[in-house]
Every structure is written in C-alpha cells, then in structure tokens.
C-alpha cells in the first residue's frame, strides 16, 4: 500500500512521545558519551583500514574487505541483545593482539605473505613453480596459508569493532531514535575529520592509536586493567622505526646507499613505501657520471632517465607527472629544458626530494612544483608542452578507503592519454615509463596509447629495476636515433587487437580481465559465509525475515554503493587524493545529518523522497560527469556536490523517517550497517561491469528497500525485536 503523508509520518510530538517511552529520560552526559563513542568508532575504522593495509601488504590489495569486516563488527555489536560488559572486558586484549600484530608485522614476517595472484598484478611477488609434481601441493598450501592469515586477522577486526559497536548501541538506546541518530552522525563526522587532519599533518600511527585509546578511556574508567593495557599498547607503538616518514598516503622509509670513495656527499638513496621498493634518488650529473661511470645504482638508471632527451634533445616546455623525488626533473634540467612543470601527489615524497636529491632539481627557478593528482592537473592546466614524461607513477598497492580503484588507475586510461595528447604542442612527444615487463600490463599500456593517439607507440625494454619498459608517442617516435635498448614494438603490436583497454569506465590497469581476482573473491565468499554463521549463532537470523528489518538492511546496502560511486566519480573530477575521500565521506554524513534534522522538525513523506532518490540515481547513471570539467573551479565543486549529495539527502530522509518507528534504535542501526556489508561486497562487481554498474546496483538495492517498506506487516516488524 502507499501511505498518505498523514498516515506515513506521525507528528514530531508523537515521535518524541514514542521515543521517550522507549528510551526514557536522557542527560547531557548520555549525549556526550554517544557522540564520543560514535566518533571513536569511525576514527578507529579509518585507522585500522590504513594501518593494516600499510603493514600487511595483503590487505592493501584487499582494502575493501577490511572495510567490510569493520562494518560487520560494528553492526553485529549493535544488534546483540547481550549487554556490552563482556565485550568491553575482552576489548583491551583484542585491541592489544590486533594492534601489536600490525605494529610488528615485519618482525613476524607478515608484511609479505604469499598472494595467489594469477589474475592480479602484485609488485615484488615471488613467482610460483609452473610445472612439476609439487605444483598442485604448492598452490593448495599457499591458498590455505593465505586464507588462514587473512580470515584470522579479519576476525580480530570484527571482534575489535564488535565491542565498539556494542558501546555505541548501548549509548544509542538511551536516546530517542532521531536525536540519537543525529548525535551518532555528528560524532562519526568528527571522527573522520579528526583522522583526516592527522594524516595531512603526516603524523605516525603511534599518534593515531594513542589518541584513539585515550578517547576510549571514559568507557573503561572502572576497569584499571583496561587502562593499563591501553597505556602499554601506546608505549609499544612508540618503538622507533629508523628513518621512517608517514605521508597522507604512505609509510615511507629512506635508505642512503654507499657513496663511492672520493666523493664527499651521498649519491643515491632508496625509497620504500609500505615495505616495498618504490623509487631511487640518483646523482646522474655529468661530473659524477664521468668520474664514476660504473657506480651503482646510478649506472642502471642512467639510460632510462636520459632516453627522453636522446629523442627530444633540447625540449622547451616539459611536463613531468609522477615527479617523485626528482630524477626525471633533474634529467630535463641537464638537457636544457626552458621550464619544467613537476606534478607529484605525495607532499612527503616531494619534500624528501627537495631535501636529499643529490642534484637538487627542485631548487631550480626553472621548475614549478604542483602537489596534485596527475589527472586533475591535466584538466586544470592551460599550458602546452614539447615533452610530457610519465615517470614511474605506479602507486604500488594504494587504494582508496572505499573501493577497489587504485590511486593511479585513472592516470593510465584511454581518456587520460587523450587529455595528455591535447596538451602537446605541434611536434610534441609523450614518453611513458612503467615497470611492466613482458606482462599483460605492457600489452594494455601499448594498446591504450595506440587507441588514444591513433597510431601505435614505439616500445623499448629498458630492464630498469628488472622490468622497465618505455613507450614513446608523438613526433619523437619517428626518430632514427639508435638506442641501446631492445625494441619490443612488434611483439606488443601482435597482441594489440586482443588486448582489453583501460578506460574511465573500466580503469583496472592491474587486473588481467573483467573478473574479480581469485585472491579477493575467495576471501570474500568465505568471510560472508562465516559472517552469516556468526550472526545466526549470536543473535539468530529471525530479524532478517521481517520486512521492516530488510527495509533498513537494503537502505544500508544502497547507501554504501552511493558512497563508493561518489568517491569514484569525484576522483575523475578532482583527482584521487585524500581530499576527495575525506570530502565525500564527510559530505555524505553531513547530508544524512541534515536529512535527519529535517525529519525531526517537520512532516516528511517517503513517497516523494523515494521518487526524487530514484530520479537522481538514474540521472547519475547517464550523466556524463566529464562535462563538468568545462565549469569554473567553484562552479565545478558546487555542481559535483549537488549531483553526488542530493541522492544521499533523499536517502537519508527515507532512513530517518523509518528509523523514527524503530523500537530498538541500536538494533535498527546495526541491521542497517550489516546491509552496508552487502553493499561493500557488491562493490567488487565493478571489476566486472565497470564503474557504471555501481549506479545500477544502487537503484536495485534501493528498489528492494522500497519493496520491503510497503510490504504488509512492515509496521509491526519495524520493532526489530530479536
């Protein structure tokens, strides 16, 4: 049935009366503790997701699964009928095991666990034996170790957040639903902003964890043992890590290489990110090379960084994207570039280059530095160039907090290469270097460049860092200048017709084909099966059989996909930066808060809210977000905010209106969060259907929420009794 506005929404006075009868009287202290608990939960969610992915590399490739485990733990903790006391007593010890496991992962040999990656490119992976009688046994053992470690750590994450969810649920049950939900959203927003600020300030995990545990103390004041454990964890977190830096994106270590005898200053540094080799800083100046022509690692890098200028001897305007610590910029200056625009997304890597690079390229007045995403810079710049150099711009394992899209995926798409082509002057050249070797990565880069430029590039196997390949497009590819590297153009061209291109709709450079990699799918399936069994054991599945609970459940699933879709779309508009992630998540919570406040102060019908929601969802599927690039800076921000924010506002109106009827707010919100687990799991289908599938799935999930809203018996089932 379709309810009328008068029957669909009780007056605020009626809602307050119903809520008071359920929640009783509450104090300012109750509000403050709910705010703090909500802040703490979202804060720790971001801490664990980032810290885990940094120290245990498997979780960098499975980042979405850590998010799913967090939501599952929070939701399960909120819907449990048992008091939070037992969970709170276990929490300090669960926190100690989880955090110390992450902290000392390198010592425990957990940082580089084997990864079943036949369809997913992983840096630094040890190859498996490809034949022989032991191959099947090796694969089985690898899979068992992989699943055992990953699922064991995910279970710890679930237990950690189950306790925090129970604390939030306990506090939420003391307030009426809508005021309680408003406080919950405000606290969550604060937690996200707090962690984002700490990341931008380049603070280390010791600060993240120490602050989080300090905020936890008010909930454990009677428990001296708990406070002692928190203090001990914090002390261990401050164990020194050598020359380590924490940027908004990476854990960075810098190692000085031996200096040749007779040279007074350092000549090379190795830079690692998240325990993987990332790049070098090299002195390739004529003075050093003439005196020490065979010094390593300098000699190995000389040919690669000199190659663009063998083809374009005296460039005028040069653009370097992925400038890093400065090797490509130094090469441009050595060869007489009139001006260099250097684009680097990570301010800490850039700062290290300024401080330590032996040739000091960033000190030159001919260099303009842009701390930005490469794709975002392509859209903003008005300059044109004689030479565009794509440095070794791979982000290794770095993904967003919300999805499976890696930080650098959008830099290597068909649309990105077309944007780079538009920035070339007549007779200009693009040189792209990548550590892709003779793999499907080289095939994809070759085919995508060929499609963007209309002619195939020339490709050379440089062998830099064992598997470096350089692609050349534009005027210089016709050069007859002999190069010392073997050309592999014909080899790649032979496979071009059968190669899957990387596009903005399917930007998964590192996945062999349109499939969910086995490493992700295997963990996801097993985890979801175990999750269902855990819910059935601890609180039964009965609540999920009634329409009211399923309505809230599918609202949570749809909301999660909306959030992921927004991160994906805005990454194309503004770059794949921490700013985008933080702004999207914060904007979504703010929209939810505004919608909740509106429902608290006036009558709202879910019928027009659903109508507006579905209209906006369909618009979001068909609307070409790239058309916003034509707008000015402020206009672009406002238009993007409206397009991604309005669906959340109307979705929030529907949820808040339904949440007002829930007998047990903690259990209702917990079921909603378990729905987010399903939404986060379905997000992985983007690797098959591409980014447009996110909008289609969101429409389907919100459609299911509407079906269960108006299903007979819904009003009674909104009590959400366990």
Average pLDDT over residues 187-208: 92
Average pLDDT over residues 612-621: 91
Predicted local confidence at residue 59, as pLDDT: 86
How many CB atoms are closer than 10 A to CB 176? 23
In the block, residue with structure tokens 């992630």: 581
> Which stretches of 312-345 are DSSP H helices?
327-334
The b-or-e profile of 579-609 (16+ CB within 10 A means b, else e) is ebbbbbbbbbbbbbbbbbbebbeeebbbbeb
Average pLDDT over residues 580-597: 80
Does residue 82 surpass a pLDDT of 70?
A: no
pLDDT digits (tens, 9 = 90+) for 122-158: 665 544 545 566 666 777 787 888 889 999 999 999 9
Does residue 399 surpass a pLDDT of 70?
A: no
110 burial (CB, 10 Å; 0-12 / 13-18 / 19+) is middle
Is residue 279 within 8 Å of residue 123, measured between CB atoms?
Answer: no
Predicted local confidence at residue 133, as pLDDT: 64
Is residue 267 within 8 Å of residue 298, measured between CB atoms?
Answer: yes
395 — pLDDT class (breaks 50, 70, 90):
low
Cα torsion at 114, 118, 121, 124 (round to 10°)? 30
The DSSP string of 468-522 is -EEEEEEGGGG-----SSPB-HHHHHTTGGGPPPP-SSS--TTBSSSS--HHHHH
Average pLDDT over residues 67-94: 86
Q: Kindly report the average pLDDT of the chain as a whole number.
A: 86
CA distance 539 to 534: 8
Q: 524 or 403, which is more confident?
A: 524
How many CB atoms are closer than 10 A to CB 706? 18
Predicted local confidence at residue 548, as pLDDT: 86
Average pLDDT over residues 31-43: 96
- Nearest CA among 158, 118, 126 for reference residue 57: 126
For 414, residues 6+ apart whose C-beta sits below 8 A from its C-beta are 448, 451, 452, 501, 502, 503, 504
CA distance 667 to 172: 10
331 — pLDDT class (breaks 50, 70, 90):
very high
CA angle 116, 135, 106 (to 5 degrees): 40
Element counts in the chain: helices (H) and strands (E): 27, 11
pLDDT digits (tens, 9 = 90+) for 126-135: 445 455 666 6
What does DSSP assign to residue 338?
S
The DSSP string of 421-438 is HHTEEEEEEEEEEES-TT
CA distance 190 to 589: 10
CA distance 662 to 123: 49
Average pLDDT over residues 349-373: 95
Does residue 547 surpass a pLDDT of 90?
A: no
Predicted local confidence at residue 577, as pLDDT: 60
Predicted local confidence at residue 23, as pLDDT: 47
Give the residue range(s) of CATH 3.40.50.150 domains in the chain.
251-394+414-498
* Percent of the chain topping pLDDT 70: 86
pLDDT digits (tens, 9 = 90+) for 404-458: 555 678 889 999 999 999 999 999 999 999 988 888 999 999 999 999 999 999 9
Phi, psi of 459 (to 5 degrees): -130, 140
Is residue 73 within 8 Å of residue 532, measured between CB atoms?
Answer: no
Is residue 377 within 8 Å of residue 344, measured between CB atoms?
Answer: no
The CATH architecture that domain 28-243+512-717 belongs to is: Up-down Bundle (1.20)
Average pLDDT over residues 536-558: 84
Average pLDDT over residues 42-51: 93
Does residue 580 surpass a pLDDT of 80?
A: no
Q: 58 or 37, which is more confident?
A: 37
CA distance 8 to 11: 10
Beta pairing, strands 339-344 & 367-371: parallel
562 — pLDDT class (breaks 50, 70, 90):
confident
Predicted local confidence at residue 6, as pLDDT: 35
Q: 23 or 711, which is more confident?
A: 711
Is residue 713 within 8 Å of residue 546, measured between CB atoms?
Answer: yes
Does residue 700 surpass a pLDDT of 60?
A: yes
63 — pLDDT class (breaks 50, 70, 90):
low
Average pLDDT over residues 680-684: 91
pLDDT digits (tens, 9 = 90+) for 652-667: 999 999 998 888 888 8
* Percent of the chain topping pLDDT 90: 56
Predicted local confidence at residue 85, as pLDDT: 74
Range 251-394+414-498 has CATH code 3.30.200.100: no
Give the residue range(s) of CATH 1.20.1250 domains in the chain.
28-243+512-717
CA distances in angstroms from 492 to 442, 460, 470, 500, 662, listed in the order given: 8, 10, 12, 13, 61
What does DSSP assign to residue 263?
-
Average pLDDT over residues 493-509: 92
Predicted local confidence at residue 2, as pLDDT: 34
């Amino acid at each position: 049935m379709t309810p009328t506005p008068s029957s669909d929404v009780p007056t605020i006075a009626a809602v307050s009366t119903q809520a008071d009868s359920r929640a009783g009287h509450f104090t300012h202290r109750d509000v403050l503790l709910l705010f703090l608990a909500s802040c703490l939960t979202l804060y720790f969610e971001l801490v664990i997701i980032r810290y885990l992915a940094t120290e245990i590399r498997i979780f960098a490739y499975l980042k979405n699964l850590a998010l799913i485990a967090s939501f599952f733990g929070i939701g399960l903790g909120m819907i449990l009928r048992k008091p939070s006391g037992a969970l709170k007593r276990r929490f300090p010890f669960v926190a100690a095991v989880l955090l110390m496991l992450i902290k000392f992962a390198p010592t425990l040999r957990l940082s580089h666990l084997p990864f079943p990656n036949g369809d997913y490119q992983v840096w630094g992976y040890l190859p498996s034996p490809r034949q022989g009688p032991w191959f099947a046994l090796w694969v089985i053992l690898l899979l068992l170790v992989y699943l055992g470690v990953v699922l064991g750590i995910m279970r710890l994450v679930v237990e950690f957040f189950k306790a925090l969810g129970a604390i939030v649920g306990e506090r939420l049950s003391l307030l009426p639903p809508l005021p309680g939900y408003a406080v919950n959203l405000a606290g969550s927003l604060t937690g996200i902003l707090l962690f984002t600020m700490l990341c931008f300030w380049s603070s280390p995990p010791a600060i993240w964890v120490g602050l989080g545990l300090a905020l936890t103390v008010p909930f454990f004041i009677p428990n001296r043992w708990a406070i002692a454990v928190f203090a001990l964890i914090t002390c261990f977190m401050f164990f020194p890590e050598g020359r380590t830096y924490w940027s908004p994106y990476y854990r960075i270590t810098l190692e000085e290489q031996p200096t040749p005898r007779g040279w007074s200053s350092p000549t090379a540094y190795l830079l690692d990110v998240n325990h993987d080799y990332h790049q070098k800083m090299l002195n390739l100046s004529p003075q050093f090379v003439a005196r020490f022509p065979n010094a390593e690692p300098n000699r190995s890098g000389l040919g690669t960084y000199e190659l663009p200028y063998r083809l374009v001897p005296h460039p005028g305007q040069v653009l370097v994207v992925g400038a890093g610590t400065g090797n490509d910029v130094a090469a441009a200056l050595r060869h007489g570039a009139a001006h260099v625009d250097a684009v680097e997304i990570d301010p800490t890597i850039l700062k290290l280059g300024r401080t330590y690079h032996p040739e000091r390229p960033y000190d030159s007045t001919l260099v303009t530095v842009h701390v930005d995403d490469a794709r975002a810079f392509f859209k903003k710049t008005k300059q044109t160039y004689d030479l565009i150099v794509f440095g070794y711009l791979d982000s290794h394992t770095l993904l967003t907090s919300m999805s499976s899209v890696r930080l650098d995926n959008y830099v290597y798409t068909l649309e990105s290469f077309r944007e780079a082509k538009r920035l070339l002057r007549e007779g200009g050249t693009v040189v792209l270097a990548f550590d892709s070797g003779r793999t499907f990565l080289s095939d994809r880069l070759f085919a995508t460049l060929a499609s963007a430029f209309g002619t195939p590039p020339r490709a050379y196997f440089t062998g830099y860092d064992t598997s470096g390949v350089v692609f050349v497009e534009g005027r210089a590819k016709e050069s007859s200048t002999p190069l010392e590297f073997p050309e592999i153009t014909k080899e790649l061209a032979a496979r071009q017709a059968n190669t899957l291109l990387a596009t903005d709709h399917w930007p998964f450079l590192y996945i062999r084909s349109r499939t969910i990699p086995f490493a992700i799918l295997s963990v996801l399936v097993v985890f979801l099966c175990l999750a269902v069994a855990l819910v059935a054991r601890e609180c039964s599945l009965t609540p999920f059989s009634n329409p009211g609970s399923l309505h809230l459940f599918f609202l949570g699933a749809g909301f999660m996909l909306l959030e992921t879709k927004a991160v994906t779309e805005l990454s194309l508009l503004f770059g794949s930066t921490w700013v985008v992630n933080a702004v999207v998540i914060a904007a979504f919570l703010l929209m939810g808060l505004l919608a909740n406040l509106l429902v608290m102060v006036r009558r709202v019908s879910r019928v027009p809210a659903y109508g507006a929601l579905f209209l906006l969802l369909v618009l979001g599927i068909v609307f070409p977000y790239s058309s916003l690039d034509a707008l000015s800076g402020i206009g672009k921000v406002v238009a993007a905010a409206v397009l991604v924010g309005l669906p959340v506002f109307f979705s929030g109106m529907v949820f808040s209106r339904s949440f007002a009827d829930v007998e047990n707010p903690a259990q209702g919100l917990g079921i909603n969060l378990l729905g987010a687990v399903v939404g986060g799991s379905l997000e992985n289908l983007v690797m098959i259907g591409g980014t447009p599938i996110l909008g289609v799935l969101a429409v389907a999930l919100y459609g299911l929420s509407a079906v269960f809203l108006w299903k007979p018996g819904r009003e009674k089932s909104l009590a959400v009794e366990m």
